[in-house]
């Protein structure tokens, strides 16, 4: 079983993986597992692997999904906590890569600038920059595992007068590791997962921490170890594989059940969640307007609070929240539209991430530029009109790694079929009839960063294999047994 002839040189590979984060390491494992005879390399633009867990350094950095599904299915998460700090996750990813010799396949500080496909050569040519030198690497197949946000530029949100502030302004994406915030008055602008994560940690040593939000979001308290996990560990300590299977299955099914409830019964779900939030708050912090979102649960990703640490910070009196518009930032404070003025020493702008596809790589096919923002994604895996290229993307409303692994398994299946049938390239194609009727698929997600940055990303459609992915069980079934021919053009050498 082999592909058509391909000139092998020092800088040519069967598969090139771009990105050594959790998606890239997972795809490398799947490739080794299912296509061990193929040559591959991982190109990582930064100095170390880990992606998000290497880049971010802000206090309290942790997962906002359980590690039993966010971790790899092929290397079970064994810690006694479902929500883990960033350093533990980074160690876990590094150890996983080392365990399967994936780390030996990584080229660090190798940033892909351009990717050009040639139909006559049936290969990609990647223009790579390393140590201020540019050179080319060739690949039969290109796997994009770069995540969805810009590592170099954060989301630029307008905060009136922020340049006037005389104190320290910090964005969590570029947190100074030597920043001393003890006994400081801190304002966190934002209400998303980053703000919810940072607030309780800063409140431990700061004099006061105030979360300034334009509108509230849902913050759900979650146990880091629940009764099911304790039961499985106590009574099945002798059978770790069963422990992992049951706990992982529990989280997958719970997530699917929860999202279905949110979609089918939004009013009841909202009332139930708000009741839980009200019970978690001290009497000094009213639920309305600070914790009563304007949208239904599931329309934005809900934030997790491990063991209720977010709400516990308010009970100490060192954390506070202000809801409303910022009129302006002055040299020594934040003036709110309500008339109130805050006087922080440090402002943390937790305003979100800037979306970008494939780290901004410029694509061409047979010398014709491809604008990815105008293309649709086939089954959430391959990009329309890009031959032999796939992406590993996770979910916005569930564990990222579940979606990335479903994508990886689908891609490996396609490559296997290509080899079996001696196919030179596979290209997602939309028919003219489809193109005349296709519209971007509607999304329930209304997060600000998705609205602002969504135009830079490829689109999901409203019919056929161009529909957005829905949930893990459906997607993994499609990866194993689903149709891989409709709207795919298989071209033999």
Q: What integer pLDDT is reported at residue 1 of this predicted model? A: 47
Domain 162-225+279-349 annotated CATH 3.40.50.1370: no
Fold agreement between 12-152+355-492 and 162-225+279-349 = yes
Q: Which residues of the chain have pLDDT under 50?
A: 1, 444-447, 449-453
Q: What integer pLDDT is reported at residue 452 of this predicted model? A: 47
Q: What integer pLDDT is reported at residue 64 of this predicted model? A: 86
Do residues 22 and 51 touch, judged by C-beta distance below 8 A? yes
Q: What integer pLDDT is reported at residue 442 of this predicted model? A: 52
SS (H, E, C) 348-367: EECCCCCECCHHHCEEEECC
Q: Which CATH number is correct for 12-152+355-492, 3.40.640.10, 3.30.70.20, 3.50.50.60, 3.20.20.370?
A: 3.50.50.60
Q: What integer pLDDT is reported at residue 407 of this predicted model? A: 96
Contacts with 399 (C-beta within 8 Å, 6 or more apart), sequence order: 65, 66, 69, 70, 251, 255, 472
* CA–CA gap between residue 202 and residue 346 (Å, rounded): 11
* CA–CA gap between residue 82 and residue 68 (Å, rounded): 7
Mean pLDDT of the chain: 91
Domain ranges of the chain: 12-152+355-492, 162-225+279-349
Instruction: List pLDDT tens digits, range 442-471.
Output: 554 444 544 444 567 888 888 889 998 888
Q: What integer pLDDT is reported at residue 8 of this predicted model? A: 67
Do residues 336 and 324 touch, judged by C-beta distance below 8 A? yes
Instruction: List pLDDT tens digits, range 292-340.
Output: 999 898 888 888 899 999 999 999 999 999 999 999 999 999 999 999 9
Burial of 275 (0-12, 13-18, 19+ CB in 10 A): exposed
Read off the pTM.
Answer: 0.93
């Amino acid at each position: 079983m082999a592909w058509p002839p391909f000139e092998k040189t020092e800088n040519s590979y069967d598969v090139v993986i771009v990105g050594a984060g959790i998606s890239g390491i997972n795809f490398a494992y799947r490739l080794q597992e299912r296509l061990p005879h193929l040559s591959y390399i991982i190109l990582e633009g930064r100095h170390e692997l880990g992606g998000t867990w290497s880049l971010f350094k802000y206090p309290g950095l942790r997962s906002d999904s359980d590690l039993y599904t966010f971790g790899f299915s092929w290397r079970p998460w064994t810690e006694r906590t479902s929500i883990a700090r960033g350093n533990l996750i980074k160690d876990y990813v590094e150890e996983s890569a080392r365990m399967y010799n994936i780390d030996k396949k990584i080229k660090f500080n190798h940033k892909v600038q351009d990717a050009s496909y040639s139909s006559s050569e049936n290969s990609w040519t990647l223009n790579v920059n390393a140590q201020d030198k540019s050179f080319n690497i060739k690949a039969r197949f290109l796997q994009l595992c770069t995540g969805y946000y810009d590592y170099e530029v954060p989301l630029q949100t307008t905060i009136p007068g922020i340049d006037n502030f005389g104190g320290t302004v910090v964005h969590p994406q570029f947190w100074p590791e030597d920043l001393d915030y003890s006994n400081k008055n801190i304002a966190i602008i934002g209400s998303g997962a980053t703000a919810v994560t940072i607030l309780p940690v800063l409140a431990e040593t700061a004099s006061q921490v105030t979360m300034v939000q334009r509108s509230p979001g849902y913050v759900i308290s979650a146990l880091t170890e629940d009764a099911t996990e304790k039961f499985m560990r106590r009574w099945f300590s002798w059978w770790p594989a069963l422990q992992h299977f049951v706990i992982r299955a529990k989280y997958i099914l719970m997530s699917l059940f929860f999202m279905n409830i949110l979609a089918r019964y939004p009013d009841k779900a909202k009332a139930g969640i708000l009741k839980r939030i009200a019970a978690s708050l001290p009497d000094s912090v009213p639920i309305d307007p600070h914790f009563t979102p304007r949208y239904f649960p599931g329309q934005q990703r809900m934030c997790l609070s491990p063991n209720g640490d977010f709400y516990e910070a308010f009970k100490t009196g060192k954390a506070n929240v202000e809801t409303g518009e910022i009129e302006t930032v002055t040299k020594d404070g934040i003036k709110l539209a309500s008339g109130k003025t805050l006087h922080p020493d440090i402002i943390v702008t937790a305003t979100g991430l800037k979306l970008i596809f494939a780290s901004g790589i410029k694509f061409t096919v047979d010398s014709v530029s491809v604008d990815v923002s105008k293309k649709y994604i086939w089954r959430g895996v391959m990009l329309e009109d890009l031959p032999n290229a796939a992406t590993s993307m996770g979910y916005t409303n569930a564990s990222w790694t579940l979606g990335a692994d479903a994508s990886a398994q689908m891609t490996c299946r396609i490559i296997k079929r290509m080899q079996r049938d001696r196919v030179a390239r596979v290209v997602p194609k939309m028919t003219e009839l489809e193109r005349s009727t296709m519209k971007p698929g509607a999304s329930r997600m209304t997060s600000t960063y998705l609205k602002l940055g969504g135009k830079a990303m490829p689109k999901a459609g409203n019919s056929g294999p161009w529909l957005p992915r829905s949930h893990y069980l459906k997607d993994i079934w499609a990866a194993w047994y689903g149709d891989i021919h409709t709207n795919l053009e298989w071209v033999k050498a």
